[in-house]
Amino acid sequence: MKKIYILTAILFSIFAVNAQNIIQNGDFEAWTGGVPDSWTTIDAGITVTQESATVHGDTYAANFDVISGTSNATDFRQTVSVIAGKTYDVSVWIYQVDDLAKLRLFINNYLDYSDNTLTGQWQEMTYQYVATTTEDIEVGFRFYDQTGWVDHAHIIVDDFTMIENITAPVIENILRTPAAPTTSDAVDVSADITDDGTIASATLTWSNDGGATTNDINMSVVSGNNYSTDSQIPAQVAGTTVTYFITAVDDNSETTVSAEYSYYIGDFCNGDFEAWTGGVPDCWSTIDAGVTVTEENTIIHGGSAAMHVDVTDGAQANTDIRQYFNAEAGVTYDVSVWVYQLDTLSQARLFFKDWQDYSNKLLINQWQEITYQYTATANEAFEVGLRFYDGAGFVDHSNIIIDDFFIDIASNVNNTIANNNISTYPNPANNIINFDNIDGVDNIQIVDITGKVIENISVNANKTSVKTSCFKPGLYIANLRKGNKVISVRFIKK
């Protein structure tokens, strides 16, 4: 028998656990004797001081006073080690206090300039560096005077990062069998998992109590890149929501966590009329005396059976076919039932907590769909089903076939997040992580790489910050939520 099921997918970004900034003190948090640590070249044409008022992330930034118009006297650099064949993502944040000088990025070569016309605001410069040789290279910047410069120009710099672009495992095509589990079904999960190296382990983690306790199932190769669970998620009682996700680790200890999926074992069942016992469709607890129902195997909409209804009573209150449905507060449901009118002498009417639309009795000998959408305002149980109404010419018989009465979670509810410009900084973080341009987000959930929830924060503004000073060093995922929609971003705690 088929039961209602709920499927949600929460979008996680693919991430690797060993990404780190190879630029030392790129966030300018460490200073000794008024000089930023780790920066070995500070030319005489610039003066650099610790900045605490205008910062992009954490507590400090570097404030540069350009005091020379000779550009090759204004270098600020350090040496980093790169590995042949590796790709590195570079980012640095610039704040032009005035327009009298520009900053030019240097990554083993001279690159782009800052926009000196964007004063009084942060701008990001980015670059992707591909190492052709394993070697030490210089990174940093040079300053160039502009029109109007005399002997001073001020630029603030923060959050200079150069992070290896790591290829982590890719998890795709996650399938659940059966797709719509019932109370009697244990569940297998499979997925295609690929990597540029080899997969060291694949694990399915599932929970039936909202993640308070979790259970792990190892996954093994079935064929090619396809992995399947070694054992099954056990069958669950009605009313249970099961959540699950897959973690894959490759031979370089790079880790990917899939989207999180869930399914709900409801107590509405046999809407496809595939299960019959003693000539009666299972689960349908109300079948009034004014209708006679039989299993139909010739005219069907889906599967191998439908329900043939012979309406034998013109008293409509005596023609109900119903069962109970448990709705969850805040969830929107799409309801659909398919009707096949064998004659024009009666019509079916959908009942979903209340009376809804009728079938069109003039559309005989063809399938027609009745649909409805309902949003539950509370956890509630109510009756759903059909009633049959006699029409002109009815005497004592009218025949209608019913199939595929389904109730599913609505997929078109507007719960979008404007995510094109979401900014997370500094990354890596030390004492604080900032989230900017987060209109539409009402909650941020931070989890570690095991899926453990570390922090839950309510949001009602375009920008917020989270203290990370107590977080253990490592990789974290921030799930930015609105309703049942999620955007996930990664960050590293130093």
State residue 454's pLDDT score. 85
CB 308 within 8 A of CB 321: no
State residue 26's pLDDT score. 96
State residue 53's pLDDT score. 97
Please state, as a whole number, how many other Cβ atoms lie within 10 Å of the Cβ of residue 321: 23
Instruction: Give, in words, the CATH class of 423-493.
Output: mainly beta
Into which CATH architecture does domain 276-409 fall? Sandwich (2.60)
**Interatomic CA distance for residues 14 and 16, integer angstroms:** 7
State residue 6's pLDDT score. 34
User: Which CATH code of 2.60.40.10, 3.40.50.1980, 2.40.160.20, 1.10.1060.10 fits the domain covering 8-17+167-265?
Assistant: 2.60.40.10
pLDDT, tens digit only, all 494 positions of the chain = 333 333 333 333 334 444 588 999 999 999 999 999 999 999 999 999 999 999 998 899 999 999 999 999 999 999 999 999 888 999 999 999 999 999 999 999 999 999 999 999 999 999 999 999 999 999 999 999 999 999 999 999 999 999 887 777 888 888 888 766 767 789 999 999 998 779 999 999 999 877 678 899 999 999 999 999 999 999 988 767 788 889 998 887 788 888 777 776 767 888 999 999 999 999 898 999 999 999 999 999 988 999 999 999 999 999 999 998 877 667 778 899 999 999 999 999 999 999 999 999 999 999 999 999 998 887 777 899 999 999 999 999 999 999 999 887 664 444 344 544 677 788 778 888 888 888 878 888 888 766 677 888 888 888 888 888 888 887 788 878 765 556 777 787 87
Name the CATH superfamily for 31-164: Galactose-binding domain-like (2.60.120.260)
Got the DSSP string for 403-467?
EEEEEEE-S--------TT-EEESSSBSSEEEEES-TT--EEEEEETT--EEEEEE--SSEEEEE
Hey, where are the domains in the chain? 8-17+167-265, 31-164, 276-409, 423-493
- Phi, psi (5° rounding) for residue 171? -110, 120
Instruction: Measure Cα distances from 50 to 121, 157, 429, 446 in Å.
Output: 18, 10, 18, 31
State residue 451's pLDDT score. 64
Whether 276-409 and 8-17+167-265 are alike in CATH topology: the answer is: no
State residue 354's pLDDT score. 95
